[in-house]
Amino acid sequence: MTELLQQLINGLALGSILALIALGYTMVYGILRFINFAHGDVFMLGAFAGFYLAPKIALVLPLPSIAGALAVMIIAMAICAALGVLIERFAYRPLRQQPKLTMLITAIGVSLFLENTGQFVFGANPKKFPQLLPAYPLPQLGGLSFNSNQIVVIAVTALLMIGLRFIVLKTRMGRAMRAVSFNPEAAALMGVNTNVVISFTFALGSALAAAAGILFAMNYPSIDPLMGILPGLKAFVAAVLGGIGNLPGAALGGVIIGVTETLVSGYVSSTYRDAIAFAVLILILLVKPSGLLGKKEVDKV
Amino acid sequence: MSALLQLDKATIRFGGLTAVSELDLQVGCNELVGLIGPNGAGKTTAFNLITGVYQPTAGGIAFDGSSIVGRKPCQITARGIARTFQNIRLFSSLSVFDNVRAVFHLHLRGDVRQALWRGRAFEREEKSIADRVMELLEIFQLGRFRHEPARSLSYGDQRRLEIVRALAAQPKLLLLDEPAAGMNSTEKVELTRLIRFIREKFSIAVLLVEHDMQLVMGICERLVVLDYGLKIAEGTPEEIRQNPKVIAAYLGE
Amino acid sequence: MNLRHAKTVLLGAIALSLVASLFSRHISGYPLFVAYNIGISLIMAVSLNLINGYTGQFSLGHAGFMAVGAYSSAVITNHFGDLNVFAANAVFTFALLAGGLAAALAGLLVGVPTLRLRGDYLAIVTLGFGEIIRVILQNMEAVGGARGLSVTHGWTNLFWTFGLAAVTVYVVAALVNSTYGRGFIAVRDDEVAAEAMGINSTKYKVTAFAVGAFFAGIAGGLYAHAIQFLTPNGFGFMLSIAYVVMVILGGMGNTIGVILAAILLTLLPEGLRMLADIEHLPGIAGSRPLSWVENTRMIIYSLLLIVLMLTRPQGLFTLRRRSR
């Protein structure tokens, strides 16, 4: 029983990370009907940003510490947000009138570029991510040993999601985002600057991916330039599972995939771990393509 | 003679919206029937039902004696119904010639293996098809464009090409969805002549959806009027012209 | 495209490759590998072009089909010891065919569920299938699992490679340039209209996948018997993307362009290698950490993709204007 609980917590932590990445996918898809293939690599860059920032921050703030960790995370999120905006501006925006396939291919190109330049610049070998938070030994509850890092992941994710919800529901920009995702032409006619909204969406999604990268690296301190590939794909599956374009769906999808993967890995076989997400994807696309919380899109003839 | 196309209380619902409700519609062999009604009345939806794009929620649709409910669009076309679209849907990257030629696969007697082996039988059949394609194109004065990509044609020519393409399927019933949309009066006169010509030369039935009243009244033998998915009137153009329900539907009450 | 002399060209190409093969009996080592690579890439790119280019089904899992063919054919030929020339060629023919058919079966398994999917979804799902194949192979101890599979016989030669490449080009070109074959492009251009014109889009899509996968399987068999060692990671989606780049660069649905692109992009890393004069490494990029040559090649590829999409999405070798 305690074993199960342990696995569930692990799964929830993993699911939180996937959820953060999935939110970025789903937001961009909601606004542009486009899958940003390069999103997983922003996750990777967030981790690397943290890696290179940590020693610099350590000169000013004590590390490991909460303040230091916060500083690293926030700056890394800012850097990746800027990067996301840049990518959109120069690689995707010129192609908005082109068929969707062109954008998809470009996104693949951006993804490959980030991964391979990363390998070139950072080196292909894994690096050890520095400790940002002091490890608090938690009291053993009935034989369970908790890692304080996992609690941090879940807690920070929850906080970020609350923040996101606030932005989307309560701010002007959030309303504009929802309007554009509903009907871009109408939104533009209503005076919404779609370009700004799109840039903001990319910034937001990239910031969340960066946060996910840092949280991930805090838990699994080995980072390498290809680390974003699998989590990126799994997070995409999570977004589809929840209903692509649907924010709570992305969060739900992330948690489901994270928990499922951890449970299967723990109880059935760890070697099939990576295939789980893809099997789920194929299943959901066959059974309910609009996802758990998504709406059906009718094709007008 | 029983009708070529027979809709029996055909109904389709999309969630809460009933787009077409209990439609009884007949088209006899070689008849020229018009389907009219205000915007959103369900005319294109009716077309989509007939061609198998949508499956009816209730009711029956029969063609040439047998039911076509549940059949896929490509099967229905093989049985003898061809259509054009409201927004022109040509095969944009194919040439004018190939747009028509692609449809001739319906009449292929050889199969895929012939295409690979490329024996004399294959070459003969391809030549025969090429001749028939050119014949069709020439009838409609599109022959000189045969190698042009379909999308480079003028609007009017594209509309004509779509009709030619539909005819390549050798249908018994031709569905034309707003063929006069975007045309000027000269082109509309030409279109009227064209539709009459097609009906004569190919002895097919035509079901026409159109907004241009003059064109519709001038050419159709019988009219069916839809409003909000329901049939509100049926009769000759004269009868329909004077029908108060039809007038009300169009003027809005 | 006029294919009146296609069969003559095909026979000529096969004869040529036979001659080349006989002459190359005494050459060995690296340049031969590059030649094999060109032929294999040709088969992969042209077969992928049928699925992606002509039928418009954007598949990102082509390497998976190659893997199925590679492993299947290897498992068969590994059963045999030393054989004389005739027996060896007979067995090889059988093994290659079996690999192709196995891959075609995989193609059906991928093609059928993906029928209703659009561009981006389809791409991800096919990528997923490719990954599933890789993971399955990784867990199949019977074929060596993650440690890899040794291939006993290095039976690939120039005749087989370029002969089969010629056959692939012929089949795809002959298929597409017929009244029947126009249906593929019709399905790509407008599936709804194609259906309305009596074209069974399901049949065409599934056919494209099956035929495309078949030839990928053949390419896999050739690859297996050239390099003589297979690992599941060598068939990851990086490899699929390498072939997708060839199709895009050549112009989707432009067989000649794709052939040129395949040759160009296979020779590109060789050019890089010559610049650096590094010890030769056979093989195509997989998911393992890349040497700097492979690394640079991928950076160039990715920039190429981006720049190409921004400036000339119809490919380098297509004469048409920018589409739509």
| Domains of chain B, first to last | 5-80+171-251 (3.40.50.300)
CA dist., res. B249 & res. B243, Å (int): 10
Kindly state the tokens that stand for A104: 């998809």
Answer with the residue of higher pLDDT: B112 or A224. A224
The DSSP-derived string for C151-220 is -S-----HHHHHHHHHHHHHHHHHHHSSTTTHHHHHHHH-HHHHHHTT--HHHHHHHHHHHHHHHHHHHH
Task: Look at residue C216 and tell me whether its pLDDT is greater than 60.
Answer: yes
Tokens 């088209």 belong to: B27
C-alpha B51: how far from chain center = 9
Task: Look at residue A124 and tell me whether its pLDDT is greater than 50.
Answer: yes
- Give yes or no for A282 touching C (CB within 8 A): yes
Q: How many CB atoms lie within 10 A of CB C22?
A: 11
Q: How many CB atoms lie within 10 A of CB C47?
A: 32
Task: Look at residue C286 and tell me whether its pLDDT is greater than 50.
Answer: no
| Domains of chain A, first to last | 2-287 (1.10.3470)
Range list of H helices, chain A: 2-32, 39-58, 66-87, 100-122, 148-170, 172-182, 184-189, 194-219, 229-242, 247-267, 273-287
Task: Look at residue C49 and tell me whether its pLDDT is greater than 60.
Answer: yes
- In this structure, the strands spanning B58-63 and B173-177 are unpaired
So where are chain C's domains? 6-235
Answer with the residue of higher pLDDT: C126 or B252. C126
Buried b (16+ CB within 10 A) or exposed e, C150-172: ebebebbbbbbbbbbbbbbbbbb
Question: What ipTM did this prediction achieve?
Answer: 0.90
- Tens digit of each residue's pLDDT (9 = 90 or more) over B159-202: 999 999 999 999 999 999 999 988 888 888 989 999 999 988 98
Q: Which residues of A touch C302 (CB under 8 A)?
A: 109-113, 116
- Give yes or no for B48 touching A (CB within 8 A): yes
Quick one: what percent of chain C has pLDDT higher than 90?
A: 45
HEC secondary structure over C232-249: HHHHCHHHHHHHHHHHHH
Question: Residues A103-120: what's their mean pLDDT?
Answer: 91
Task: Look at residue C7 and tell me whether its pLDDT is greater than 90.
Answer: no
Task: Look at residue C287 and tell me whether its pLDDT is greater than 50.
Answer: no
Q: Which residues of B touch C194 (CB under 8 A)?
A: 91, 102
Task: Look at residue C283 and tell me whether its pLDDT is greater than 60.
Answer: no
Kindly state the tokens that stand for A156: 């920070």
Which of B31-45, B79-93, C112-126 has the least mean pLDDT? C112-126
Bridge partners, B208 (sequence order): B34, B176
Please name the residue of chain B whose CA is at the shortest distance from the CA of residue A299.
Answer: B53
CA dist., res. C216 & res. A282, Å (int): 22
Q: How many CB atoms lie within 10 A of CB A259?
A: 19
- Give yes or no for A288 touching C (CB within 8 A): no
Quick one: what percent of chain C has pLDDT higher than 70?
A: 91
CB contact under 8 A, C189 and B106: no
CA distances from C69 to A48, A298, C127, C160, C218 (A): 39, 39, 17, 15, 6
pLDDT of amino acid C288: 38
Q: Which amino acid, residue A259?
A: V
Label residue A22 by pLDDT band (50, 70, 90): very high
pLDDT of amino acid C176: 92
CA distances from C35 to B38, B209, C27, C244, C270 (A): 67, 60, 12, 20, 11
- Tens digit of each residue's pLDDT (9 = 90 or more) over A251-286: 999 999 999 988 888 877 777 777 788 888 888 877
CB contact under 8 A, B44 and A298: no
CA dist., res. B159 & res. A163, Å (int): 53
C-alpha A258: how far from chain center = 13
CA dist., res. B36 & res. B84, Å (int): 16
Residues contacting B119, CB < 8 A, separation 6+: none
CB contact under 8 A, C306 and A113: yes
Measure CB to CB from residue A100 to each of C117, C119, C298 and give the nearest one.
Answer: C119
pLDDT of amino acid C318: 72
CA dist., res. C182 & res. C16, Å (int): 31
Question: Residues A94-121: what's their mean pLDDT?
Answer: 88
Q: How far is C73 from chain B (nearest CA, A)?
A: 25
Which letter does DSSP use for residue C314 in this model?
T
Q: Which amino acid, residue C317?
A: F
Mean pLDDT score of chain A: 87
CA dist., res. C190 & res. C204, Å (int): 13
Question: Residues A180-209: what's their mean pLDDT?
Answer: 91
Radius of gyration for the alpha carbons in chain B, expressed in angstroms and rounded = 19
Label residue C285 by pLDDT band (50, 70, 90): very low
Which of A88-97, C104-113, C225-234, C270-279 has the least mean pLDDT? C270-279
Please name the residue of chain A whose CA is at the shortest distance from the CA of residue C139.
Answer: A271
Q: Which residues of B touch A301 (CB under 8 A)?
A: 44, 48, 53, 85
The DSSP-derived string for B188-223 is HHHHHHHHHHHHHHHT-EEEEE-S-HHHHHHH-SEE
Q: Which residues of C touch A281 (CB under 8 A)?
A: 124-125, 128
